[in-house]
Amino acid sequence: MGGVRTRTFCRRPPGCAAISAASQGARGTRSAGCRLPGMRSISTADGRVLAVEEWGVPDGVPVVYAHGTPMSRLARHPDAALFADLGIRLITFDRPGFGNSTPRAGRRVVDAADDIATIADHLGLDRFAIFGVSGGGPHALAFAAVHPDRTTRVATLASTAPCDAEGLDWTAGMMESNRLSAAAALRGRAALEAHLAETESADLRELLPEAEQAVLARPEFQQMLSAAYAEALRPGLQGWVDDELALFGLPWGFDPAAITVPVSLWHGELDTVVPVAHSAWLAARIPDAVLTRAPGAAHVGHFDATAATLRWLLDRS
């Protein structure tokens, strides 16, 4: 169990040149940085289907991305040229029940490890980097814990800690809707389904605190998040329910302290969606983890940390 190492992240200002240019179509083309043609449907050993998309350059360095909750394979940084500029082949997928992936009732966070391995096998990937945002963070960590031989590096941005994290007041400093979700998840599926049904039709921006609004107001982020959110819930609430039960109501099924590959954790200090104490707890328990605390950043500030995170994931030094 390693000690916590922290560093400070200087947040790029909203409206930075790269994002502004991307939103105006000034950077990149469809062949250099955009969505690669065709969603893949990959079959699992137990007869389910996993929906996969690719972004960036087809012959780039593979990086797997685990989306947040409730999101889908369409979630990623909206700068069309970012992945091409870094030479990345970004691979995204719908977790079970979201988008076009078959539901898997009762799944735990650890179960994502074998789904990701199935995707990697289908795509011919041996070892690769992986990262996850918010509710996707634990799923990325699960793969690194279960398949260290296939993981070069793993990163999380604004990740949750396990709901049974010893010594962590899990909902302290958390926004009300997430506190209510956590309480409902502990009461079981029916209670969580009823709670989430109340928020299903809400505008995505309305679900998040004021501290998030500066980033959410950027047109390119609005467009991407709205599409990713709509696709996530298109088949119904089951993916969202199963994700929150796994994150808020069940043990993960693996010990973060067992992760042996390099780990980068990023968290905004103003985050009330998932408070920074969650990443601090993880950093204190993962042997080779570095925690970046970002003063002035909230939850969706992770978008401004994505480029630096990707560069770290590509670093083999």
Q: pLDDT of the chain along its 317 residues, tens only?
A: 333 333 333 322 222 222 222 223 333 333 334 677 689 999 999 999 999 999 999 999 999 999 999 999 999 999 989 999 999 999 999 999 999 999 999 999 999 999 999 999 999 999 999 999 999 999 999 999 999 999 999 999 999 999 999 999 999 999 998 999 999 999 999 999 999 998 766 665 666 777 788 888 899 999 999 999 999 999 999 999 999 999 999 999 999 999 999 999 999 999 999 999 999 999 999 998 999 999 999 999 999 999 999 999 999 87
> Residue 210 and residue 250: Cα distance in Å, rounded?
30
| Axis-axis angle for helices 112-123, 136-146 (nearest 10) | 70
Tokens describing residue 201: 């039709």
> Residue 220 and residue 79: Cα distance in Å, rounded?
8
- Of 66, 5, 1, 3, nearest to 265 (Cα)? 5
DSSP one-letter code for 4: P
Q: What is the pLDDT of residue 3?
A: 34
Please count the other Cβ atoms lying within 10 Å of the Cβ belonging to residue 77: 24
Q: What is the pLDDT of residue 124?
A: 97
SS3 35: strand
> Residue 178 and residue 309: Cα distance in Å, rounded?
26
Q: What is the pLDDT of residue 211?
A: 76
- Of 139, 241, 137, nearest to 190 (Cα)? 241
Tokens describing residue 28: 């990149």
- For the chain, the 3-state helix, strand and coil shares in percent, each to the nearest 5, are 40, 20, 40
> Residue 144 and residue 260: Cα distance in Å, rounded?
8
> Residue 305 and residue 22: Cα distance in Å, rounded?
16
| Under 8 Å between Cβ of 95 and 112 | yes
Query: What is the CA 265 to chain-centroid distance, rounded?
Result: 12
